């Protein structure tokens, strides 16, 4: 079998020499060599196809893993945010009354301890929600709670107007407490007392 190549003219003797060499091979040798070359080419092609699909599969697997990591992180972030919100809400309700939303006895006690540790002069007044039992007995639990909440808001508004530093808190049952820092004279305390009625 002669071979022709697109070559420069001065290379023609080299091609002729190569053709003579090929023609000098025994027919079986040439056929075996050709078959080996075909088998090598086929294997090489299969290896290339295998490598291509293997690489594609690996890339797909990496994409799936990356997507899974992103989704898990988002889920964990949402779960952490929800946990944080629940903790904040729990902490709020541990320190506040659920009806009036005022600081409760636990919170005001810690505040008093802090002020006393700092040697801050203060006055503490305790007073009750007037006629609470009658309101609850005559109008029921829900309306009684609404009335108590409205009363607490009215007292809070009055305190903020005249004593911005004062802290109103719900003590228990129908009792409230006011802590007024930097006020410890009897006359001033009596004036504050009149704000509640």
* Residue 43 pLDDT: 60
Give yes or no for a contact between 174 and 129, defined as CB atoms under 8 angstroms apart. yes
What is the pTM (predicted TM-score) of this model?
A: 0.55
| Closest to 152 in 3D by CA, of 106, 196, 113 | 196
pLDDT at 172: 85
Cα 55 vs. chain centroid, distance in angstroms? 36
**What pLDDT is recorded for position 195?**
54
| pLDDT at res. 135 | 82
Q: Is 136 helix (H, G, I), strand (E, B) or coil?
A: helix
Full pLDDT tens readout for the chain, 197 residues: 545 556 667 777 777 777 777 777 676 766 677 677 666 666 655 556 667 777 888 899 999 999 999 999 999 999 999 999 999 999 999 999 988 999 999 999 998 888 888 887 888 888 888 788 888 888 888 888 898 899 899 888 888 888 888 889 999 888 899 988 877 666 566 566 555 55
Compute, in degrees rounded to 10, the torsion defined by CA atoms 39, 44, 49, 52: 170
**Tokens coding 149:** 């909440």
Q: What is the pLDDT of residue 84?
A: 94
Neighbouring C-alpha atoms within 13 Å toward the C-beta of 32: 5
Structure token pair of residue 59? 């890339």
Q: What is the pLDDT of residue 125?
A: 85
Alpha helices in the chain (DSSP H): 12-24, 27-95, 105-117, 132-162, 186-193
- Report the alpha-carbon distance of residue 80 to residue 65 in Å, rounded: 22
For residue 170, which phi and psi values (nearest 5 degrees)?
Answer: -90, 125
Residue 86, pLDDT score: 93
| Residue spans of alpha helices (H) in 96-182 | 105-117, 132-162
């Amino acid at each position: 079998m002669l071979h022709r190549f697109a070559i420069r003219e001065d290379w023609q003797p080299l091609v002729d020499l190569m053709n003579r060499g090929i023609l000098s091979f025994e027919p079986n040798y040439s056929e075996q060599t050709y078959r080996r070359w075909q088998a090598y080419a086929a294997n090489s092609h299969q290896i290339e196809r295998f490598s291509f699909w293997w690489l594609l599969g690996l890339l797909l697997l990496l994409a799936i893993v990356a997507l899974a990591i992103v989704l898990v992180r988002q889920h964990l972030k949402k779960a952490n945010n929800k946990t944080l919100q629940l903790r904040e809400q729990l902490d709020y309700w541990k320190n506040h009354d659920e009806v009036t939303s005022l600081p409760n006895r636990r919170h005001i006690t810690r505040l008093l301890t802090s002020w006393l540790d700092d040697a801050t002069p203060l006055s503490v007044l305790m007073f009750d929600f007037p006629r609470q039992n009658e309101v609850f007995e005559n109008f029921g639990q829900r309306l009684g709670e609404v009335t108590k909440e409205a009363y607490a808001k009215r007292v809070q508004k009055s305190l903020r107007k005249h004593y911005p530093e004062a802290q109103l808190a719900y003590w228990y049952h129908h009792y409230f407490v006011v802590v007024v820092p930097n006020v410890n004279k009897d006359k001033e305390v009596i004036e504050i007392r009149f704000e509640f009625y």
